Structure 1
């Protein structure tokens, strides 16, 4: 169990975290024909939208209540009502998300009262669901805001078994998946393929692999999300055979879903590394009452071979990680399975899952804390998001980009980290970066006692011959 070192600085130097408001918006973007409307100033929304656009390289539907200095003092409820009315009239979305920002939380705005005022003023839009969620920038980080939003969606939109008449197992092939924020669209796509390989049907909540996977739509432009989980399908969650919960941050939403539907769940901290993936595959095999497909068995054999090939490079290597709690724990456990050591670990927020990290200490802090820990513990490689590029350059160390955001490379959101194949790809990338350091390379030995031929002696030998 690692020692958790809490933040002690009065300021943040070289920030690591993304705000909980951004995490909330990301969760809403995983639903079809949805749009998040941040309750805050225009700058709060623009800042998050910039990172979304640069990370996914896609147009991002994101709106704001655009409160100004007057409404920040006098009250902003009217702006919420007006913003919701405008969205409903112009776009008729299937879902409107209403996350808060630090500004309105400091103001003391009652977001739920604002939604009730909208319902009273505009009963004609009663069929359009609006989900308010409290996600201030100053509390938590992207992972916690994402999880709070999924929990709010389940509380607001998923009917209980008594209300909907659902029954666990009625849909014998449906598997609910509560996907944590650390899973990329590429991860979710691979996870769905694994589930479908057993003849099961995954219903991912939320499904970023369908909305932010980087596909060209038939229409030129849409003000709402294109793809994602259908809002109507939330009514069927109670009929599923089981629920897979990926990431400890999703335990809160999972508890609410289980209490409402009584569908049994299977919880996984992460899906990286051979042991974690083995548990997932065995669970799917039991749920489907079917043997493991040969294709998946071959992927496992390929990972085993890759572990043999790369253990010379990764064994006893010293790595540093800065990431959100779920991702950080998954990476440390995967690296421990490769024989590597995590000598520096930094998380932007505290969470119970950090107790499972495979390292001696976890610092709750920023990239300055990571840089200091890397220097003190002589790390050889850094794993973090694109905010860590300058840190790696100052330290002269290679960087493997992981997490959000990744804005200095194209396609980071499509990368697969989970499963046998995703773990294998990560293994190769790490080994290649270690090779670039020429770690453990044996250079030719030249004895000082032996006279090596010079150009003159070589020429004389040739002349004599």
Structure 2
């Protein structure tokens, strides 16, 4: 059980976390023909858009209610209602997610009431799904905002089995997958391929691998997302054979989905490492009633060989990690499973999964805390997002880039970390960082009875002879 050390500073220095509205927007972007609308000032939306564009290198559809001084004081209900109406009229989206910001929350907005008022005032837009989510950016992080949005989408758009007449197992090969924000578009593609090898049909909620995978389209411009999970698919979740909940942050959403539909949920905190992936493969084999395909057996054997090859470099390695809760927990299990020692663990937010992580303590803090603690504890390798690169340079240690945002490398959003193959490549990447970055090299020893190399004899002073 890890001790959770809460922040005691009055400010964040070199912040690690990104805001909850950013996480909520990311969840919305995984649905087809969707658009997030942030209830706040224009700067709140611009901040999130910059992060997304630099990370995914794609045009990102985001809207704002554009609160100003007057609406911040007198109320901005009309901004929300008319903003939803304008988007529904001009863009004809399938889904609008109304996400609050710190400004709107401080002002005292009630976006759930605003959505009800919009429905009463404009019944002609009943075909447009609208979901309101409280995501203040003065608390939480990307992961908590993402999880809150998925919960509200399941609550509002997945029909109850009793009222909809759905029955678990009607679609014998369908498997629902609620996926954490720690899974990249590349991870989601790998997860889909893995499930399909068991002759199952996965429905990913949400599916960033289809909307933010970097593929070119015929459209020059679209005001809404292109690709992702169709909103209509949410009505079929109650007929699936099972639900896979990937990420501890989505446990509450998984429990709600099971309560509404009766479809049994299977929970996985992460899919990093041999043990976690064994649990997933065993579950898929049970659901499909099929033996594990030979191809997957071979990938498992390849991972075992990679573990043997890399344990010389990773065993007793002193590692510092900074990430959101789900990913931090996953990385701790991965590196400790290889014999490394996590000497510093910094998290962007506090969630229940952190207490179960196999480390002495986890600090809720920023990248300044990471840098100070990593230096004190003589860390040899750092794991974090692109904001942590400067810290690694000052510490003089290598960094494995992972998380959000990744803006100083190309294709970071598409990298695969999960599964046997993803874990295998991650171990190779970690080992190569250690090999290519010298640590406390031992000076060569020359016997006094042996002749020194010519270059060193010339460098010696006369007193050496």
| TM-score bracket for the superposition, by shorter chain length | over 0.9
Deviations 1:140-191 (A, max 9, x none): 1111110000000011110000111111111110000010111111111100
* TM-score (ref. length: structure 1): 0.96
Deviations 1:69-101 (A, max 9, x none): 111111101111111111111111000010000
Where in structure 2 are the equivalents of 1:142-153 lying within 5 Å?
142-153=142-153
**Corresponding residue SS for 2:241:** strand
Where in structure 2 are the equivalents of 1:43-442 lying within 5 Å?
43-439=43-439
Deviation at 1:64, TM superposition (A): 0.3
**Corresponding residue SS for 1:195:** helix
Deviation at 1:358, TM superposition (A): 2.4
Counterpart contact for 1:342–1:358, Cα < 8 Å: no
Counterpart contact for 2:348–2:365, Cα < 8 Å: yes
Once residues 279 and 426 of structure 1 are traced to their aligned partners in structure 2, the CA distance between those partners, rounded to angstroms, is: 19
**Corresponding residue SS for 2:213:** coil
* TM-score (ref. length: structure 2): 0.96
Counterpart contact for 1:313–1:439, Cα < 8 Å: no
**Corresponding residue SS for 1:349:** coil
Deviation at 1:450, TM superposition (A): 2.2
Question: Residue 72 and residue 288 in structure 1: after superposition, are their counterparts in 2 closer, same or farther (change >3 A)?
Answer: same
Q: 5+ unaligned residues in a row in structure 1: which ranges? A: 459-465
Q: Indicate the RMSD between aligned Cα atoms, in angstroms.
A: 1.5
Once residues 409 and 345 of structure 2 are traced to their aligned partners in structure 1, the CA distance between those partners, rounded to angstroms, is: 23
Query: Structure 1 residue runs of 4+, over 4 Å off?
Result: 439-444, 455-458
Give 1:22's aligned residue: 22
Deviation at 1:41, TM superposition (A): 0.4
**Corresponding residue SS for 1:171:** coil
**Corresponding residue SS for 2:320:** strand
Deviations 1:346-370 (A, max 9, x none): 0011111012222211001000111
Deviations 1:350-409 (A, max 9, x none): 111012222211001000111111011110010001111111111111111111001111
Aligned length: 458
Deviation at 1:452, TM superposition (A): 2.7
Question: Residue 51 and residue 453 in structure 1: after superposition, are their counterparts in 2 closer, same or farther (change >3 A)?
Answer: closer
Once residues 158 and 451 of structure 1 are traced to their aligned partners in structure 2, the CA distance between those partners, rounded to angstroms, is: 80
Question: Residue 16 and residue 453 in structure 1: after superposition, are their counterparts in 2 closer, same or farther (change >3 A)?
Answer: closer
Deviation at 1:456, TM superposition (A): 13
